[in-house]
Amino acid sequence: MNRREMLKLSLAAVVGTGFIYSGWKTFFMFRSTDLSILDRNAKLLDALSETIIPQTDSVGASGAKVYSFIILNIKENTTRVNQNNFINGLQDLIARTHSLFGHSFEECTFDQREEILTYYEHEGKTGEGTIGKVQAKIFGFSFFHLLKKLTVQGYCTSKEGMMQGLAYNAIPGKYISCQPLLTKQKVWATR
Q: Give the mean pLDDT of the chain.
A: 83
Helix (H) or strand (E) holding 46: helix 42-52
For residue 166, give the 3-state DSSP assignment.
Answer: coil
The pLDDT-based confidence of 127 (bands split at 50, 70, 90) is low
Please give the pLDDT value at position 13. Answer: 78
Which pLDDT does position 31 carry in this prediction?
63
Between the alpha carbon of residue 106 and those of residues 53, 56, 60, 179, the distances in Å are: 15, 19, 16, 41
Instruction: Return d(Cα 138, Cα 136) in angstroms, integer.
Output: 6
SS3 category, 95? helix
Task: Indicate if the pLDDT at residue 191 is higher than 50.
Answer: no
Listed range (5-14, 20-29, 57-66, 117-126) with the worst mean pLDDT:
20-29
State pTM to two decimals: 0.73
